[in-house]
Chains A and B, each alone.
Chain A
Amino acid sequence: MNPVFRPLRELAEALRARQVSPVELAEAFLRRLETLGPRYNAIVTLTRQRALVEARRAEAEIAAGRWRGPLHGIPYGVKDLLATAGGVPTTWGAAPLRTQTFDFDATAVRRLEQAGAVLVAKLAMVELAGGMGYRQPSASFTGPGISPWGADAWSGGSSSGSGSAVAAGLVPFAIGSETWGSILSPAANCGVSGLRPTYGRVSRHGAMALCWTLDKLGPLALTADDCGLVLDAIAGPDPHDPTAARRPFRYAGGEAVGRRFRFGVIRDVAATAEAAVREAFDRSLETLRQIGTVEEVTIADLPYEAITRTILMAEAASAFEDMIESGAIAGLTAPEDRFTAYARDAILAKDYIKALRLRAFVVREADRVLSGLDALLAPGRPAVAPPLDREFRSAARGNLPDVMGAIGNAAGLPAIAVPNGISDAGLPISLQFMGRAWEENTILAAAQAWQGITDYHLHHPPEVS
């Protein structure tokens, strides 16, 4: 069988039925990573040795009838901000940290190993997850992330390689992280599904800290169902991360069948989006009426973006204080990343505390709006992938409106971005479902239902299909 662009359940079934072996699968995806990965600047390190050890173990276990579940024997990649043992570098995308290593696996990596998944690559990312204020795609020592949908199209960031590797069929799924937009943006620009879980759903132990109160880890994959299967493996409490919630999580796959949903749309949420994105969003609202109701909702007038941005900038300045004060940021790739963070010394403690006080308002307002809904809808991103050689607008920098992202990340809410068509320029457009806290199963069901009545997720970049 050709394993490329197969949903996880199909791969799992083929592995369990021994139509394909974990070693064959690992070799096949390692070959694709080697040959196609450089085209998209998607890879930092191939973990061939570890992959083959894990694949051989999976092969023996499956042959002995010890099947661990739907990820057993399935290759995957992780954003290179997750620690991995064994001398494999964990670079955080930053040139000064090219040789950084850890002697332990991040909890998410350890959980995937326990699920029998096979780590084949550490994937490229924007340096320091974009926390230094980058303004253009070329902000990683591995080069600008490129979307498989266009040689001149940015993959999005900061989980750049996690998006492009899934979109190009280099891995069946990948792990990314989001502080503000870093899963949804590459999912949108690369035309794949990307799930940002509720804050605390997945342990951050072993992950680079950008903002302690905003960082989340989550999967990027071909379908919403795939994202659910991966979340099932990585979610849960962790004694090494006090912010990891004690709430148990089990993915309720298949819940979407026959279900009706109640969707909300914040007034004018797509008003500033590009025309192609706005038109696709309007069309999608009509399509979604096949599986539920769509109503306009209003939210309180609060400075959502200023609140989230203040928290992000202040915590990032503290998280990277050593690199900033020592001047080590001068070794970063994007010229603006070499000095822009110095401005963060101008944030007053009072302003940070005020943002944290206002965050309580955001949390309550988001819950009020979402308490009567299954999900809020919005474009996954307000624009298609920008060209590589141009500065882009960014909500985190303050020149792109993103109320959904500001609310969703400040309130720690789950959201999933899924494909919503292709623009006239041949670039993917995305739709997001954002849910109430801890309602991953609800938004996954909605996104799965969406993918049951559309076929956008079945389209793949022409040059790799």
Chain B
Amino acid sequence: MGEPGRHASEVDLRLALVRHRYGGRLSPEQIDDLRRAVEAIVEQAAALGTVRLANSDEPLSRFEPFRSDE
């Protein structure tokens, strides 16, 4: 995990979306718990960002054009 508070504003912004969508269902304790979960998601995204990608590095998922008669 990174240093505490390093991504605080990012966490606040993403948590705001979660609260906007689901806040009516959540207790203050649950929102505290979700803050920690969102912090982990932001840290995780930061970890992904440590690797430099080239334009040619494609996602590993396969798309195949479809025809029902083949």
Contacts and interface: CB of A to CB of B under 8 A. Distances in A.
A351 B48 CA distance: 8
Interface of B: 14-15, 17-18, 21-22, 25-26, 30, 33-34, 37-38, 40-42, 44-45, 47-51, 53, 57-61
Contact of A303 (B14, B41, B48, B57): B48
Interface stretch (A229-237, A305-313, A443-451): A305-313
A348 B50 CA distance: 16
Interface stretch (A83-91, A249-257, A335-343): A335-343
A403 interface: no
Interface string A396-410: 011000000000000
B24 to A, nearest CB: 10
Given A306-B47, A398-B44, A356 B15 contact: no
A348 B14 CA distance: 9
B57 A357 contact: yes
A197 interface: no
B41 A346 contact: yes
25 contacts: A213-B61, A303-B48, A303-B51, A306-B47, A306-B48, A313-B41, A327-B25, A336-B33, A339-B22, A339-B25, A339-B34, A342-B22, A345-B18, A346-B14, A346-B15, A351-B44, A351-B45, A351-B48, A353-B59, A354-B48, A355-B48, A356-B61, A357-B60, A358-B51, A360-B57
A392 interface: no
A347 interface: yes
Contacts of B58: 357, 360
Secondary structure at the B interface, as helix, strand, loop or mixed, is helix
Of all A-B residue pairs in the complex, the 9 with the closest CB atoms, nearest first, are A356-B59, A343-B37, A346-B14, A306-B47, A303-B47, A359-B60, A360-B60, A351-B45, A306-B44
Contact of B38 (A310, A330, A343, A354): A343
Contacts of B44: 306, 309-310, 351, 398
A363 interface: yes
Residue among A313, A336, A342, A345 with the highest chain B CB neighbour number at 10 A? A342
A307 B14 CA distance: 20
Contacts of A309: 44
A345 B16 CA distance: 10
Contacts of B47: 303, 306
A172 B33 CA distance: 42
A353 B41 CA distance: 14
A461 to B, nearest CB: 36
Contacts of A360: 57-60
Interface of chain A, helix or strand or loop or mixed? helix
Interface string A52-82: 0000000000000000000000000000000
Nearest to A242: B64
A237 to B, nearest CB: 16
A291 B48 CA distance: 39
Given A343-B38, A345-B17, A356-B60, 13 more contacts: A213-B61, A303-B48, A306-B44, A343-B41, A346-B17, A351-B45, A353-B59, A356-B61, A357-B57, A358-B51, A359-B60, A360-B58, A398-B40
A contact residues, range: 20 to 34
A363 B22 CA distance: 37
Given A310-B44, A310-B45, A354-B48, A343 B18 contact: yes
A320 interface: no
A458 interface: no
A361 interface: yes
Contacts of B49: 354
Contacts of B14: 346
Contacts of A310: 44-45, 48
B22 A358 contact: no
B61 to A, nearest CB: 5
A302 interface: yes
A340 B51 contact: no
Most chain A beta-carbon neighbours within 10 Å: one of B37, B58, B59, B60: B60
Given A353-B59, A356-B60, A360-B58, A342 B48 contact: no
A213 B60 CA distance: 10
A231 B32 CA distance: 45
A133 interface: yes
A363 B60 contact: yes
A32 to B, nearest CB: 41
Contact of A357 (B17, B41, B45, B53): B53
Interface in A206-238: 213
Nearest to B40: A398
Nearest to A243: B62
B51 A345 contact: no
Contacts of A343: 18, 34, 37-38, 41
B63 to A, nearest CB: 12
Contacts of B45: 306, 310, 347-348, 351, 354
Contacts of A307: 48
